[in-house]
Structure 1
Amino acid sequence: MARRWTPQHTVMLRRIRVACCSIAVILASVGTFAVGARKTVALSINGQTSTVTTYASTVQRLLQEQHVTVKSHDIVESTVKGELKDHDVVTVHSAYETTINIDGTEVPFWTVATSMDQLLGFFEANEVAASKVTVDIKNVYNQLTGGLVINENGPVTVIADGKTSIAPSGKLTAASILDSKGITLGKEDRVSVERDNGTTILRVQRVKHETETRTENIPFDTQTIVDTSLQPGQTVIQRAGQNGSKTDTYNVTYVDGVKESETLISSQTTAIPVTQIIAVGPAQPAQDDADANTDSGADSSESAGGSSDSGSGSPSSGSDKGSSSSGSASSSPSASAKPSPSPSKTATSSPSPSKSTPAPTTTPAPKPSTSKPSTNTGNTSNSGNSGNTSNSNNSSSSAGARLWHPTVQQAQTYAAGAAAQRGWTGNEWNCLVNLWIKESGWRWWAGNPKSGAYGIPQSLPGSKMARFGANWKDDGAVQIDWGLYYIATTYGSPSVAWKHWQDHNWY
């Protein structure tokens, strides 16, 4: 018996065909997407390259898949900006902290250099004025490979103990080169690397500490009293002053035999200064006329006392030379310890009928200064900006303390090396200089009161820079590090950021 076809059966078959077609389309789409999303990428981490297959669409996702931890100062580069594509090359450079010396100021510096010569080359790549940059060895040991090599491409000149020698192969660590030369380092000896006209120099500086004692005078004070038994204007030294003495002990630091600094350890007084006592006669009474005496109704003795008090209280009277000169004598006695005779205000401000000697007034003599006066009341001589009331140099002498107030020159020197290790030289560097001149004038303390932007890169808000250091408000190095990171992740390069600034007046 033949099978009967009904409308319901036809509809069912139609639905099955539609479902099959849909499934086929979905499978084809998924297959096409999978084939298109699957990509082969070269991943290089600190010089070690491997080929990985991934479906990640971004560099960040790729690094997460491969369990690669990227820290704040690390540098990540890709051959193509934006979406990850097949056959891209992703490079990760792990940064480590060294200490560089810019014009005598120690500054922590995060770098990805594989040799000290390369690190110094970063600063030479962007020619910035004449700042002298050296690398301190102490923070280079025990890093990624157990210590950087000095020069991968040539010899090294070694200077130590006043002698100069050549290490033919610079592709060694500082310790290896010094060992080969038989140079032993003391606990506090300093080792640094610098470049001079293309020559890589490994320098050793011997540090020694010595204890020195010095005897210094303690100036005596001068005490002035009023002696009513003396004639007005008469001066008598009742007791001659005598300087005291003290013994100061210093810890003095010598670098290669040259005194670098000293620290006061102790101070002991060996002789107490003797205060000089000067007796002066009372001020000469002022000459009052008869009518004034009559109107006052006071007796002659009271009038004389009042005149005497008036003369003392008004030493500027033109008719009383003794009173006029007394103010000068009591307030600042001369170096010869013979001030002009006059009572002090304290001694005569409360007249009394009795002739008892008033309480003496002590006037300490000015002590001579042993140090040069500071001529830098702000930072106008260093950064050219009177608004900076802080020292533009490193406020902490310790290289480990990441707190740095750079001058414009020093800030640009630091940024030149940091930018060069990202490959930003030539026009890219010029664009960065122009960008931050417009934003802040390269001043670490520059702030915009309206927007709240702050620092050399004008971070908005400034607290964003805390990613690179908690002292972002007071540290130019932290600000520069963050600014370069921001440009790299937001625009890719300074030239793009600069063009955006020119078009929109912000970046």
Structure 2
Amino acid sequence: MSKVVASAITGALSLTSAGGLMMIQVLDRDTVTFSVDGVSQQAKVKPGTVRQALAQQGITVGPHDDVQPSLDSQIHDGQVITVNYGRRVAVTIDGKKVVRWTTAKNVSEVLDQLNQSDPDNLVSVSRSLDISRAGVSFSMQTAKDVTVTAGGKTQKVTAVGTVADALKAAKISFDSQDVSNPGLGTPLADGMKITLTMVDQKSQKRRVAVPFSTKKVEDSSLAKGKTKITTKGVKGTNEETWTVVYKDGKKVSEKKVSTKVVKAPVAEVVKVGTKKVTPPSTSSRSKGASTASSSKAGSTSNPVTSGTTCVASTYGEGDGTAGHPTASGETFDPSGLTAASRTLPLGSRIRVTNVNNGRTVSVRINDRGPYVGGRCLDLSTAAMNAIAPGQGLVTVRYS
């Protein structure tokens, strides 16, 4: 064997020895699959524990992370190591804050873990939102079963939020005038009973009569005690605007808010006499008294033999008519020779005869009456005494 060949063999042995050691070191590895938050990757690691294998790959875990198998487990070739990092989740449920550590990857999984997956619940973020390792905070309002009564009808609804949300869920329209018990902004609670009173305000126009006033004006040309209407009073008309309040369709109140004059009333003007009447002189009174006395005595001469025959009555003393205005405007004096007729002209004079004794008296028509069937004249006290002293009814003939 040549030296050259020997040297080659010696070199080959040396290389084999050295290479064999290197190959042993390389072959002393396990193939492990690392699944970190669902992402898988294979790697060659030295034999040992799961903790050591993770450290070789630079994977750190904390107390809230989930590692399978456990950190102290021995690994083997073909091992699968699963790491799910923990996330801090802060959820405010109906105003109450809950903090949890979870390996859930999205909000929907968190809701499942909290038994709050009801689709009627209102969540402030998307249920499909992925949760990063930094964690997440969100709020949620749970659905409540409540009873709503409005307009006399009651129904059960499931709603989230406030009383206003429950009314909307019940498809009940309402406005700022309506009254809710509890109030619209009250948070819902299971079993809550809600009552809505429907309040309506309506405007109404009303026409009303306005009474006229009376204005009295003194008149020196008119005898004292006498009155005369110069302008007849006329009622006016106002238009009033009222606000009427109804609760659940029933009227509960009304209030007048404005008044507009449609037609103003016309005041009645009454003249009041102030003229003093001068009493007649003594001689005149004596003459008048003598004349009246003779007239009141009546006369049996020249009686009325043709004309209208009827029953005449009397009025004046003791019946409250004395001193009051007559139809002609003058004050009634029972001692005067006057009479009332329904048809004879005011101011006309007639002769009246008592058909039983023939006594006759001349009278002036200054009033209207009588208004009793079968009677044609109402004689003053003096006129009746002239033909039938002390009587109240007498058959007469007049022309």
Q: Same fold (TM over 0.5)?
A: no
Greater strand fraction, Structure 1 or Structure 2? 2
Where relative contact order (Cα < 8 A, 6+ residues apart) is larger, the structure is 1
TM-score (norm 1): 0.23
Greater helix fraction, Structure 1 or Structure 2? 1
Q: Over alpha carbons, which structure has the higher Rg? A: 2
TM-score (norm 2): 0.29
